[in-house]
Amino acid sequence: MKILNFLKKLLYIYLAYFFFKLSLLGIILPIIPWVPFLMISFMFLAGASRHFRKFIVNTKLYNKFLKSSVDKHPKVAAFFYEPV
């Protein structure tokens, strides 16, 4: 069971990195929306561990750009605010 949890966390971190790169690409290219990819990246990081979840919720970037969007959607908000 520990191995499955480790692989799940590793997959979440890899997917967070992938979507973060897509959001950076979206900043450069105006045809790709960057905010949804950044939100997905943060969601995967939050799913990886409690430390990342606590860090993400306390960042200025999250509070400035994503908090209003996350609070509008209850399922997404539950993902960010529920303990791992």
What's the pLDDT at 15?
93
What's the pLDDT at 25?
92
User: Could you list the residue range(s) of the whole structural domain that residue 18 is in?
Assistant: 2-81
Q: How far is CA 7 from CA 11, 12, 65, in A?
A: 6, 9, 30
CA-nearest of 37, 70, 36 to 53 is 70
45-62 average pLDDT score? 82
In total, how many domains does the chain have? 1
> What sign for the dihedral angle of Cα 46, 22, 8, 72?
positive
What's the pLDDT at 22?
93
